[in-house]
Structure 1
Amino acid sequence: MKSTMMLVSTRTLIASIVTLFMFFPIYWMLITALKSPEELRLAVPTFWPETFMWSNFLNVFETIPFARYALNTIIQTVGIVVLQINVALMAAYAFAKGNFMGRDPLFLLVLAALIVPDQVIFVPVYVLLSKLGWLNTYYALIVPHAASAYGIFLLRQMFRSINNDVIEAAKMDGANRMKILYRILTPMAMPTVVTLLVISFIGSWNSYFWPLVMTNSDKMRVLTVGLAKMRDSIGGNEALSIHLLMAASVTVIVPIVVVFVFAQKHIIAAMSNSTFK
């Protein structure tokens, strides 16, 4: 009994230490965002702001076109999330419940797409979008990411776990394929759908490489590219402007934290059903 309690205490201690190490950079970013430039220049760093400078968050909007970057990021993220979820739902339904020639080899090709990074395909895609006249537009930010191979895999695994009798009963009632998918299967797979939504949201919100190469004006830049531009603009003067950079960074990560906190139970439920079948 004592050995068991000691083991639990040791695990708790280790978990607490790891959590502190992982949380400390976020904590430091937050308190830096709330400090004044004078406090940041002190020889000995302070672990708690002497004066909370909430105005730093407002000053970010005056330093860079933050509102425009945020609008672009929201449009990009919403567009990608909506497309990825709908494409994944339809493709997963076909791979899980469809019966057509080449179904399994095609699914293997989808899985193969998981190992191909954007950096490998961006040159031909860039040339294609250039010929279409889509560079520096929302089309270039959204359309190339309309499909998610991981999302298709995740939903396929969920749909395969649903008994075919449910679908046959819906067909007997006169439901077509789209009604079966969106009114029956999607509610049953809601934890997985929410998980895909969160993954797609985080990936789109944090996207940096693709918006960087596809846009070249402040009118179309997203938050990640805007923060990088802001960082480069204060090169050599970090002590004077690092509080603004940290304030902008905190503002950017808040939506991700909020979405993850509200959706974490769905993510756990979905991952428990995502084994390969």
Structure 2
Amino acid sequence: MSKPVWKTIRLIAAILVTLIMVFPVYWMFITSLKTSNELRLAIPTFWPDKFMWGNYIEAFNAAPFGRYAINTVVQTVGILFLQINLGIMAAYAFAKGNFPGRDKLFLLVLAALIVPDQVTFVPVYVMMSGVGWIDSFYALIVPHAVSAYTIFLLRQTFKSINNDVIEAGKVDGANRFQVLYRILTPMALPTIATMGILSFISSWNSYFWPLIMTNSNDMRVLTVGIAMMRDSVAGDEALNFHLIMAASVMIILPIVLIFIFAQKHIITAMSNSTFK
């Protein structure tokens, strides 16, 4: 097979894969702009007869999404702050520290990567209930304060940095925290930015954990709010599907924008994440 033909086949395959992946997002967006009557047509339309931008306002007012948004931001920022800072300190210890059992402890961190949240949520729920944190931000944030994946990637990045840089900082009078946050952290910025983005996406999209850990409407987050939208609007999902899609578009918009502007950091971090 000639090279031009092979390139054409690869281009066509790439276009098809892109269309398959983008179509659900496109369908969600156009559905959010349709009327409920248009959604009930026997033959679905691929373009709205009339753009109903008011669906977004109606969706926002259908439930206390303002409160849900505040709760989601607090949860996301809290988890992001703790995961990045604790991950930086733990990764520095595993990469540059010299203490007994260092490598064995790191293997335990790697082992945590294969344990899903559904396995540990029962004992964690019992712990949160025991300290009276159910239906609070503590229950939403503290169990996710440490990310094994963040520690792993940052450790790989810190190990790739020459020790002479650290020694030079110590000669200039820098203590451990100054070396870590003023010297190593800027050098590992692509990885830190990547982990921040992944942490943001995971926390922003979290559904199972907030659903289990919160009881009152004042502590609900956006993902749980959308799931409850059928009951809060009219109780008929078919009639409210355009509002559900409008709310979904508003929720994923921050994630899409962050990913578009920060994708180069993700590529850089993943290319430097080989096990060393």
TM-score bracket, shorter-length normalisation: over 0.9
Aligned to 1:15: 14
Aligned to 1:178: 177
Instruction: Check 1:42–1:17 CA distance in 2 against 1; reply closer, same or farther (3 A cut).
Output: same
RMSD over aligned CA atoms reads 1.3
C-alpha offsets along residues 7-60 of structure 1, whole Å, 9 cap, x if unaligned? 111001001001101111110000000011122222221111111111100001
> Counterpart amino acid of 1:244?
L
Q: How far 1:217 moved relative to its partner?
A: 1.1
Aligned-partner SS, 2:93: helix
Report matched runs for 1:251-266 at 5 Å: 251-266=250-265
Would you say 1:115 and 2:110 are equivalent positions? no
Aligned to 1:187: 186
In the alignment, structure 2 segments of 5+ residues that lack a partner are none
Q: What CA distance in whole angstroms lies between the structure 1 residues aligned with 2:94 and 2:63?
A: 46
Aligned 8 A contact 2:87 2:151 in 1: yes
Would you say 1:156 and 2:155 are equivalent positions? yes
Q: What CA distance in whole angstroms lies between the structure 2 residues aligned with 1:192 and 1:154?
A: 7
Report matched runs for 1:1-277 at 5 Å: 3-231=2-230, 237-277=236-276
Q: What CA distance in whole angstroms lies between the structure 2 residues aligned with 1:197 and 1:68?
A: 24
> Counterpart amino acid of 1:221?
R
Aligned-partner SS, 1:110: helix
Q: What CA distance in whole angstroms lies between the structure 1 residues aligned with 2:32 and 2:69?
A: 19
For normalisation by structure 1, the TM-score amounts to 0.97
Aligned-partner SS, 2:95: helix
Q: What CA distance in whole angstroms lies between the structure 2 residues aligned with 1:235 and 1:93?
A: 53
Q: How far 1:234 moved relative to its partner?
A: 6.8
Q: How far 1:61 moved relative to its partner?
A: 2.0
> Counterpart amino acid of 1:264?
Q
State which drifts further: 39-48 or 165-174.
39-48
Q: How far 1:230 moved relative to its partner?
A: 1.4
Q: How far 1:233 moved relative to its partner?
A: 5.7
Q: What CA distance in whole angstroms lies between the structure 1 residues aligned with 2:235 and 2:13?
A: 39
- Structure 1 vs Structure 2: percent identity of aligned residues? 68
Q: What CA distance in whole angstroms lies between the structure 2 residues aligned with 1:5 and 1:236?
A: 56
In the alignment, structure 1 segments of 5+ residues that lack a partner are none
Aligned-partner SS, 1:219: helix
Q: How far 1:237 moved relative to its partner?
A: 2.6
Aligned-partner SS, 2:261: helix
Q: How far 1:227 moved relative to its partner?
A: 1.0
> Counterpart amino acid of 2:28?
M
Aligned-partner SS, 2:217: coil
Q: What CA distance in whole angstroms lies between the structure 2 residues aligned with 1:270 and 1:90?
A: 18
Moved over 3 A (4+): 231-236
> Counterpart amino acid of 2:228?
K
For normalisation by structure 2, the TM-score amounts to 0.97
Q: What CA distance in whole angstroms lies between the structure 1 residues aligned with 2:238 and 2:145?
A: 41
Q: What CA distance in whole angstroms lies between the structure 1 residues aligned with 2:31 and 2:97?
A: 54
Q: What CA distance in whole angstroms lies between the structure 2 residues aligned with 1:81 and 1:190?
A: 15
State which drifts further: 157-166 or 221-230.
221-230
Instruction: Check 1:69–1:210 CA distance in 2 against 1; reply closer, same or farther (3 A cut).
Output: same
Q: What CA distance in whole angstroms lies between the structure 1 residues aligned with 2:5 and 2:232?
A: 53
Aligned-partner SS, 2:79: helix
Q: What CA distance in whole angstroms lies between the structure 1 residues aligned with 2:95 and 2:250?
A: 40
Q: What CA distance in whole angstroms lies between the structure 1 residues aligned with 2:117 and 2:23?
A: 31
